[in-house]
Amino acid sequence: MEYILIIISAVFVNNIVLTQFLGICPLLGVSKRISTALGMAGAVMFVMVLATIVTYLVQIYILIPLNIGYLQTISFILVIAALVQLVEIILKKVSPALYQALGVFLPLITTNCTILGVAILTIQREFNLMEGVVFALSNAVGFGLALFLFAGIREHLDLMNVPKALRGNPIALIVAGILAMAFMGFSGIV
Amino acid sequence: MNQWNNFTKGLLKENPTFVLVLGMCPTLGVSSSAINGLGMGLATTFVLFMSNLFVSLVKNGIPDKVRIPSYIVIIAAFVTVVELCMQAYTPGLFKSLGIFIPLIVVNCIVLGRAEAFASKNSVFSSMIDGLGMGLGFSLSLTVLGAIREFLGSGRIFGISVYPEDYGMLLFVLAPGAFLVLGFLMAIVNKINKA
């Protein structure tokens, strides 16, 4: 039951992109076509779950015993950067097909704030490892959902006659605002 | 004169938020009131200034291949400094900015300026650039925060302008952030084109 609550809360009610404002850059950057949006979402899901597990272990077995909790930010970002590199190298060797699909997006992920954000939130909310994994997975699904919906709308937006000053990012932000309004309908469920 | 241009370009012509469209997450996330926006802006300014300074100091000693990770370590160190200082001196602001303070590390403006400017220019111009960009970011965050606070709760910097009952709550919540920023960006587009 607890897991279901975490999932519904992270995917719909507190959607990481549309209500928490994390990962806006990929939302604006790679949402021009549905296929790239799905590729990005896949890469984020992969790295987010891995990063959450590793940073959780770093926090429990290194930072807390040594009493150096204030190094959390610096050590987490290093772990994430190293992990992304590692995933890239391993993927290239083990599964070239998957590397082809996700490859372009992997370097972008280091500076994607959803990864570091979810890793820190997992610690802040005092989840255990299993809950952390579920939390990361459902946040990645929420991220993918928002990106997918947004890309679908933007594909249609290309065909519309938008006023000149609003073209590009302004209209994309306004669309995201309306989408966020729709997601407000979920608030209060959990 | 050259340094003056260097300083002012961040304020309007290359404003990080409205023109370069960098650092969107904190922009949208913390601009629910003018004071939050200003606090976040100043924290980012400090990090930008210090990281630009240090990156330009050590730029010749860092091998090209590991430059991005080294920049990230420098930035993360200053973010930790800001985090600890804010926790100690402004606990209220620290709480309301929450997770966005550690996330300054992954704010694309900071890494962007380190890579695009500080790694190529002299120490002094890098400091000026960091300061200008940071203040430009603070300015846009404060404006955005003030507009949202005014429309949403009838206050600016916490000072009541009209009764709160007439405010549109929507603008303090998530959708308002997107809408106000979208229209502000369109206005800046219009001004820059004209």
Residue A74 to residues A9, A77, A80, B41, Cα–Cα distance (Å): 29, 6, 10, 21
Cβ within 8 Å, pair A18-B174: yes
Asked if A112's CB is within 8 angstroms of B175's CB, the reply is no
Residue B159 dihedral angles phi and psi, to the nearest 5°: -95, 125
Mutate to test the interface with B, among A63, A111, A167 (most CBs of B within 10 A): A111
Predicted confidence (pLDDT) per residue in B137-176, tens digit: 999 999 999 999 999 888 888 788 888 778 788 888 888 8
Closest residue to A21, CB basis, from B25, B182, B187? B25
Does A14 reach chain B within 8 Å, measured CB to CB?
Answer: no
How much of chain A, in percent, has pLDDT values that exceed 90? 23
State pLDDT tens for residues A66-120: 888 888 888 998 888 888 888 888 878 887 877 777 666 777 777 778 899 999 9
User: What one-character DSSP code corresponds to residue B96?
Assistant: H
What value of ipTM does the predicted structure carry?
Answer: 0.83
Q: Give the mutation candidate from B15, B24, B101, B107 for the A interface (greatest A CB count, under 10 A).
A: B24
pLDDT for the residue numbered A106 = 75
A39-65: pLDDT as tens digits: 888 888 888 999 999 999 999 999 888
Per-residue pLDDT of chain B (194 residues; tens, 9 = 90+): 578 888 888 777 788 888 888 888 888 888 888 898 999 999 999 999 999 999 999 888 888 878 888 888 899 999 999 999 999 999 988 988 888 888 888 888 888 888 888 888 889 989 999 999 999 999 999 999 999 999 988 888 878 888 877 878 888 888 889 999 999 989 888 887 76
Nearest to A173 among B29, B182, B190 (CB): B182
| pTM reported for the whole predicted model | 0.86
Residues paired with A134 in a beta bridge: none
Interchain CB distance below 8 Å, A81 and B193: no
Burial of A93 (0-12, 13-18, 19+ CB in 10 A): exposed
Q: Give dist(CA A174, CA B177) in Å, integer.
A: 9
Per-state percent for chain B, helix, strand, coil, to nearest 5? 75, 0, 20
Torsion of CA A168, B115, A147, A74, to 10 degrees: -150
Q: Which residues of A touch B21 (CB under 8 A)?
A: 28, 169
